[in-house]
Chain A
């Protein structure tokens, strides 16, 4: 009886119109202020002094060098971390060995530690006062304040990306497919190429895209180990900071727009890949049906 007292159905729990409207409103306003507005500002500021200035900034040797450094870093760090991610996910999901849980935790460390801590740690390991510093110096191997240091720091920060995408998926898939392939006579390598890889490819690509975005955008760790030498060890994010401190706002925004464009493409790729069944939502292709009845 009480249901009809107000002449219509009661709202579901938490479905009061006032609550719904204000919640959606808050999310929209905050989203616009926190996320959308800065992106728009980058676009507007980058072109404030017109196309010519924009092109000129990007064509400046220092900017071009920074772009080059970023691309080279990604070209090394992403494949290495992809291989590491596959190897780690494979070991954790297909083998049993002591220290497996520890490895799972260790892989996650770069996510929980501030990148700047990683940078400082590298300083202590490879720096002149550090562990290997003197030895490296004697043999004239430059790691810090050079490309190798930048690549190492970027790799540290992005080590978990691929592994984290693959582990839940490969755990859900189990070992059945590989066992089936092997029992049919396939070699280990053949099994990996023909059976394992095709079933993880979207998740793998998803991990690679995220890893790449992070490598290209990494600031904290790289800023410590690179030494910020203009035109020599500056990556794009470091270059943006430098331009900004030089009061070259338009240049900073122009450079930033490149990273923003990369980010937008990353998001598009991410959404496209998620649609193709990557990400964490993927379940087994053939879930077990009912167990049937035991007479």
Chain B
């Protein structure tokens, strides 16, 4: 089912949470709404679900205007951040709930068969008689997904689906959700504030800020060509140096890098920690190491540039480097935005 949002607006009391958002989601696509808290991503998701009504604009499901269809009849599967499993029902009863309240009457045997099928899909065979309180967080989230899928939704909506789980479980569930999506091909939108999750999972990432879309595209597009400093910083750690562009080259302190197509004048230069090099002698931006953080794959160095700007960069695990050391930072790769 193709979904189209057309200039959708939502205001809570005096706060405008969503400012005229337009968005198209192709049938079968897996799309991430990514943004910091307060960016309106959950509100958009809830409006698509019908849990929140849009104050303006339209939401289309295929050719149908779904804007005013109540959630009950909208045919969406919604997965809540904190699962929202019915605590007094077993896992099987939770999954079967949508079918038992449906206008389409099914026999108990039919429902039981479908529940078994869904339990197998989410790899929870044999746990049907447990209560939500007796299973782990990751299992609960899978039950929530099975419950949402049980009503054969046209669209699957997930609100921070892995937000309440610990890092390892999140990682596994992400891969698993991707597999399920591949298997079922159902149009899916999920909300997250975790850029890694969005990039890992989605066909397309929609980045939001203060109720507006700032950029959308495939993970490759948004990573390789962030439109503005907000997107760049939101997608991952980045160093910011102020400098100047002259004849296609950006210069900051003693560091220099090509900046094709950027107008001459003052500019901001952004570089990821692994795109900075450290050497004992110049040229480069003079800096002093303040701290070294050891990580499994690299050593993260925190330094202070002579200009007072903080810098973070990664060096190989074998590299001997200690706090207090002075040296120079050069740019291997950077993104330059004109300040003019």
Contacts and interface: CB of A to CB of B under 8 A. Distances in A.
A and B assemble together: yes
Interface of A: 176-177, 179-187, 190, 194-195, 198-199, 284-286, 288-295
Given A177-B86, A199-B88, A286-B83, A293 B101 contact: no
Q: Which 3 A-B pairs have the closest CB atoms?
A: A184-B98, A285-B87, A176-B84
A292 B88 CA distance: 27
B84 A180 contact: yes
B101 A185 contact: yes
Given A179-B51, A185-B98, A291 B163 contact: yes
A185 B83 contact: no
11 contacts: A179-B71, A179-B84, A180-B85, A184-B148, A184-B151, A186-B97, A187-B101, A190-B101, A285-B133, A292-B164, A292-B167
Contacts of B50: 183
Contacts of A289: 137, 164-166
A284 B133 CA distance: 10
Given A199-B88, A286-B132, 16 more contacts: A180-B84, A181-B97, A182-B51, A183-B51, A185-B103, A187-B72, A194-B101, A285-B132, A285-B133, A288-B81, A288-B82, A289-B164, A289-B165, A292-B163, A292-B164, A292-B165
Contacts of A186: 72, 97, 101
A222 to B, nearest CB: 38
Given A194-B101, A292-B163, A183 B85 contact: no
B164 A293 contact: no
Nearest to B162: A292
A259 to B, nearest CB: 35
Interface in B59-98: 71-74, 76-78, 80-88, 97-98
Contact of A286 (B72, B87, B101): B87
Contact of B147 (A176, A179, A184): A184
B87 A183 contact: no
Interface of B: 49-51, 71-74, 76-78, 80-88, 97-98, 101-103, 132-133, 137, 140, 147-148, 150-151, 162-167, 170, 193-194, 196
A183 B82 contact: no
B84 A185 contact: no
A181 B86 CA distance: 9
Interface residue SS majority, chain A: loop
Contact of A183 (B76, B83, B170): B76
Contacts of A286: 82-83, 85, 87, 132-133, 137, 140
A295 B170 CA distance: 12
B101 A177 contact: no
A199 B131 CA distance: 14
Contacts of B132: 285-286
B164 to A, nearest CB: 4
A181 B74 CA distance: 13
Given A185-B102, A289-B137, A290-B166, A176 B72 contact: no
Nearest to B104: A185
B51 A288 contact: no
Contacts of B76: 183
B77 A183 contact: yes
Nearest to A173: B87
A278 B82 CA distance: 22
Contacts of B148: 183-184
B329 to A, nearest CB: 23
A196 to B, nearest CB: 10
B80 A180 contact: yes
Contacts of B88: 198-199
A295 B295 CA distance: 12
A187 B148 CA distance: 16
B82 A176 contact: yes
Contacts of A190: 101
A289 B87 CA distance: 16
A285 B89 CA distance: 12
A228 to B, nearest CB: 47
Nearest to B97: A184
A181 B72 CA distance: 9
Contacts of B194: 292, 294-295
A184 B80 contact: no
A286 B137 CA distance: 8
A199 B89 CA distance: 10
Contacts of B165: 289, 292
Contact of B80 (A176, A194, A291): A176
A53 B147 CA distance: 65
B199 to A, nearest CB: 11
A183 B49 contact: yes
B98 A292 contact: no
Given A183-B51, A292-B166, A177 B84 contact: yes
Contacts of A285: 85, 87, 132-133
A160 B103 CA distance: 38
A257 to B, nearest CB: 39
Contacts of A195: 86
B72 A182 contact: yes
A45 to B, nearest CB: 46
Contacts of A292: 162-167, 170, 194
Contacts of B71: 179, 182-183
A183 B137 contact: no
Contacts of A176: 80, 82, 84
